[in-house]
Amino acid sequence: MKVVYTDVLVIGGGLAGLRVAIGARRRGHDAIVLSLVPPKRSHSAAAQGGMQASLGNVIKGQGDNEDVHFEDTVRGSDWGADQRVVRMFVNTAPKAVRELAAWGVPWSRVRQGDRTVIINGEKVTITERGEAHGLVAQRDFGGTKKWRTCYVSDGTGHAMLFAVGDRAIADGIPVHERTEALSLIHDGKRCFGAIVRDLITGELTAYVAKATAIATGGAGRVYRVTTNAVICEGIGAALALETGIVPLGNMEAVQFHPTGIFPAGILVTEGCRGDGGLLRDASGHRFMPDYEPEKKELASRDVVSRRMEEHIRKGNGAKSRFGEHLWLDITLLGRQHIEHNLREVKDICRYFLGLDPAEQWIPVRPAQHYTMGGVRTDHTGQAYGLRGLFAAGEAACWDMHGFNRLGGNSVAETVVAGMIVGEFIADFVESPAGELDIPTTLLRESLAAERGRLDHLLHHGGREQADTLKAEMQQTMTDNVGIFRRGPDVQRAVDKLQELLVRSRDIGLRSRRDGPNPELVTAYRVQKMLKVALCVAQGALTRTESRGAHFREDFPRRDDAQWLKRTLATWSEPSATLPTLSYEALDVRAMELPPGWRGYGNKDYVDHPDTRQRAEEVAQLREKMQAAGRHAVQAALMPYEQLLPPGLRGRNERIDEKVTP
């Protein structure tokens, strides 16, 4: 029996996982990171446009602060987010940018003086302040009141991942590359680590740890059309689900990004629209102002994606042999800007579309992009149900995104959650609860169970092909659980996925070696992915309202009276074919920002019975405390600072907001 022991086992080597490991390491604990691929190849690298943090350095960001970022994020979430977690996040995001700046991220910087930008299709000259010169710059992004998205050209995620990846190397953190966790070791109460497969040799090892963190990213690949990397298969969520105890939160909340290139689904950044790019239809008409006069192309992603599909349905799509699409026009930004600030976009257009975006429009259509749901955790990142299990980043439902995430808030979440959860994991490891007392029988049995599963796949001669099942699942999800959802379609998807899940228990392999065997990998992953897909579909079927990215055509209104609650999906037993759903209510009476209209999108919604009273309370308190300053008002409305690790509680300095040390 091969056993590896460490204090903190981090599953996933992207930004969130690496930052968690660094946090634990800096508190003096050993950490091992497991990664399917070399960590710098993680999907974090694909985040192009930037990271939101309310630094307020650029002139169009002047007046920005945590309060504005908080409100934008909560509105973006369609009130699905945990507002205390959003507060923890917005207060830490500026610190994360500053930490990364110190670690070497070459953030694009403010240059003082005049510059020409495109706003609402017009050339406008803005003047950057002298006192901002050389500080980190921000660009405009969807669903934000201020220019808040800090960026490194359009390679933000890449630059962040390399800086954090190199920092992990500097701190001597081992990354076990090309390894995959197959299951969590647990006794129903506490998590003890994971059973891990070496993807090169096929060998199984029990990794035993005081604390285990899931940071495996999203589940985009349960869909056929997605911007996600091929490794984003929701396996971390499945590991938690398969414990039978830990719930996944809000899996039906799936974001579709407006500008996947058509038809390959590769992402071009929201920065295109943030910097002034426009959406046009088959006749070249700029249609977004017709639907969204307030925010136009820069409404939140769920809204823009729906409007695009709606516009195509009305017959305004450009036709191609692969189907219909719309156009993203960034020609008005000029070649200089594109080659400087949007060079990945230029490369993607050149290599995958054979076009020059400085001259030609880019064919786009919404594509699956982000998994708001994930392993449900409390504000410390501790998963529900199993002590010693944590989750961070896209894999988690922490829950700062609710039913729709704002652009620029995902890479921000990775490092912010990494900073916060890393501290809480260290606290846990140092506490009496962190002590390990593990029977070796549990290790042996856990290893034997996984060995048995693999041997069954390799040798029992099943009749089903893994890649066929996977393709059918992906098509089913894209066809029926996409941007517009209808009860009968989603029901059809649930039925189909259940059938596929049953069939997946009879997968046979053509290739029977146990080492680098891609067919075996697809086989055991598709069994897990189907369970995750079923959580998405069943959650979408049951939620008879529309909220954020979850849009039911047969229930088009947001219904706070019935549905201001978080879906929790558990998998009660291995033989089940459906998750068990339960719900946890959000408490309107504790909200700093009671539910209302988002400022874009649908104005028609059903109020929660507590909303009016809470709104009045909040309004009165704000008026009464007007003179007390924004921090005092905030603390009176919804205290949160005590929830943060002590080292991250400080206020953030800005040009216009000095902090006395």
Partner 1 sequence: MSSTEETRPVAKHKNVGMAPEQAPPVAEGPKRMLHFHIMRHDPQDPLSVPHIDVFELEEAAGMTLFIALNEIREKLDPSIAFDFVCRAGICGSCGMVVNGRPGLACRTLTQDLPAEITLAPLPAFELIADLSVNTGKWMRGMSERLETWVHSLGVEADLTRLEERMDPELADRIYELDRCIECGCCVAACGTARMREDFVGAVGLNKIARFALDPRDHRTDDDFYELVGNDDGVFGCMTLLGCHDVCPKELPLQTQIAFLRRKMVKAGL
Binding residues for partner 1 restricted to 77-106, rule: CB under 8 A: 94-95, 97-99, 101-104, 106
Nearer to partner 1, 340 or 451 (CB): 340
Residue 641 near residue 647 (C-beta atoms within 8 A): no
Q: How far apart are CA 82 and CA 189, in angstroms?
A: 25
Nearer to partner 1, 22 or 386 (CB): 22
How many Cα atoms sit within 13 Å of 81 on the Cβ side?
A: 26
Q: State yes or no: residue 63 binds partner 1 (CB under 8 A).
A: no
Determine which one of 273, 280, 369, 525 is catalytic: 273
Nearer to partner 1, 178 or 557 (CB): 178
Residue 176 near residue 35 (C-beta atoms within 8 A): yes
Interface region with partner 1, contact rule CB under 8 A, candidates 163-171, 274-282, 433-441, 609-617: 163-171
Q: How many residues does the chain have?
A: 661
Query: In sequence order, which residues have a C-beta less than 8 Å from that of residue 21 and are 6 or more positions away?
Result: 8, 10, 31, 32, 33, 168, 173, 422
Active site residue 109: no
Interface region with partner 1, contact rule CB under 8 A, candidates 77-85, 151-159, 494-502, 541-549: 151-159
Residue 435 burial class via C-beta count within 10 angstroms: exposed 0-12, middle 13-18, buried 19 and up:
exposed
Nearer to partner 1, 288 or 473 (CB): 473
> CA nearest 20: which of 8, 6, 37?
8
Q: State yes or no: residue 41 binds partner 1 (CB under 8 A).
A: yes
Query: In sequence order, which residues have a C-beta less than 8 Å from that of residue 623 and are 6 or more positions away?
Result: none
Nearer to partner 1, 165 or 249 (CB): 165
Q: Footprint of partner 1 on residues 461-520 (CB under 8 A)? A: 467, 471, 509-511, 513, 515-519
Q: Footprint of partner 1 on residues 517-546 (CB under 8 A)? A: 517-519
**Least separation, in Å, of the C-beta of 348 and partner 1?**
6
Element (H, E) at 35: strand 31-35
Of the candidate residues 1, 2, 28, 38, the single one contacting partner 1 (CB under 8 A): 38
Q: How far apart are CA 543 and CA 527, in angstroms?
A: 25
Interface region with partner 1, contact rule CB under 8 A, candidates 314-322, 434-442, 553-561, 619-627: 314-322
Residue 230 near residue 559 (C-beta atoms within 8 A): no
**193-220 burial, b for 16+ CB within 10 Å, e for fewer?**
bbbbbbbeeeebbbbbbbbbbbbbbbbb
Of the candidate residues 17, 49, 80, 155, the single one contacting partner 1 (CB under 8 A): 155
- The residue to which tokens 């990494």 are assigned: 418
Q: How far apart are CA 461 and CA 464, in angstroms?
A: 9
Nearer to partner 1, 305 or 517 (CB): 517
Q: State yes or no: residue 167 binds partner 1 (CB under 8 A).
A: yes
x/- mask, partner 1, residues 224-253, rule CB under 8 A, reads x----xxx----------------------
Of the candidate residues 140, 252, 324, 344, the single one contacting partner 1 (CB under 8 A): 344
Interface region with partner 1, contact rule CB under 8 A, candidates 222-230, 243-251, 280-288, 540-548: 222-230
Which residues does residue 464 pair with via DSSP β-bridges, in sequence order?
507
Nearer to partner 1, 63 or 134 (CB): 134
Q: State yes or no: residue 135 binds partner 1 (CB under 8 A).
A: yes
Q: State yes or no: residue 46 binds partner 1 (CB under 8 A).
A: yes
Interface region with partner 1, contact rule CB under 8 A, candidates 292-300, 315-323, 488-496, 531-539: 315-323
**130-168 burial, b for 16+ CB within 10 Å, e for fewer?**
eebeebbbbbbbbbbebbbbbbbbbbbbbbbbbbbbebb
Would you state the structure tokens that stand for residue 280, as one six-digit string? Answer: 């046009």
Interface region with partner 1, contact rule CB under 8 A, candidates 3-11, 40-48, 185-193, 556-564: 40-48
Nearer to partner 1, 15 or 251 (CB): 15
**Least separation, in Å, of the C-beta of 44 and partner 1?**
10
Q: How far apart are CA 314 and CA 360, in angstroms?
A: 24
Interface region with partner 1, contact rule CB under 8 A, candidates 259-267, 277-285, 368-376, 533-541: 259-267
Nearer to partner 1, 166 or 310 (CB): 166
Of the candidate residues 166, 464, 499, 641, the single one contacting partner 1 (CB under 8 A): 166
Active site residue 273: yes
Q: How far apart are CA 113 and CA 461, in angstroms?
A: 70
**Least separation, in Å, of the C-beta of 113 and partner 1?**
11
**Least separation, in Å, of the C-beta of 605 and partner 1?**
37
Q: State yes or no: residue 654 binds partner 1 (CB under 8 A).
A: yes
Of the candidate residues 116, 120, 127, 201, the single one contacting partner 1 (CB under 8 A): 201
**Least separation, in Å, of the C-beta of 442 and partner 1?**
30
Interface region with partner 1, contact rule CB under 8 A, candidates 139-147, 261-269, 277-285, 433-441: 261-269
**Least separation, in Å, of the C-beta of 407 and partner 1?**
17
Q: State yes or no: residue 620 binds partner 1 (CB under 8 A).
A: no
Of the candidate residues 18, 90, 152, 239, the single one contacting partner 1 (CB under 8 A): 152
Q: Footprint of partner 1 on residues 634-653 (CB under 8 A)? A: 650-653
x/- mask, partner 1, residues 262-291, rule CB under 8 A, reads xxxxxx------------------------
Residue 26 near residue 230 (C-beta atoms within 8 A): no
Backbone angles phi, psi at 45, to 5 degrees: -65, -20
Per-position DSSP letters for 430-497, written without gaps between them? HSGGG-----HHHHHHHHHHHHHHHHHHHHS--SB-HHHHHHHHHHHHHHHSSSSB-HHHHHHHHHHH
Determine which one of 25, 43, 158, 257 is catalytic: 257
- The residue to which tokens 């490369």 are assigned: 347
Q: How far apart are CA 265 and CA 276, in angstroms?
A: 22
Q: Footprint of partner 1 on residues 347-376 (CB under 8 A)? A: 347-348, 351-354, 363
Nearer to partner 1, 231 or 330 (CB): 231
Q: How far apart are CA 89 and CA 72, in angstroms?
A: 13
Rg (CA), the chain: 24
Nearer to partner 1, 479 or 559 (CB): 479
**Least separation, in Å, of the C-beta of 284 and partner 1?**
19
> CA nearest 195: which of 210, 179, 213?
179
Residue 395 near residue 214 (C-beta atoms within 8 A): yes
The residues assigned a catalytic role are 257, 273
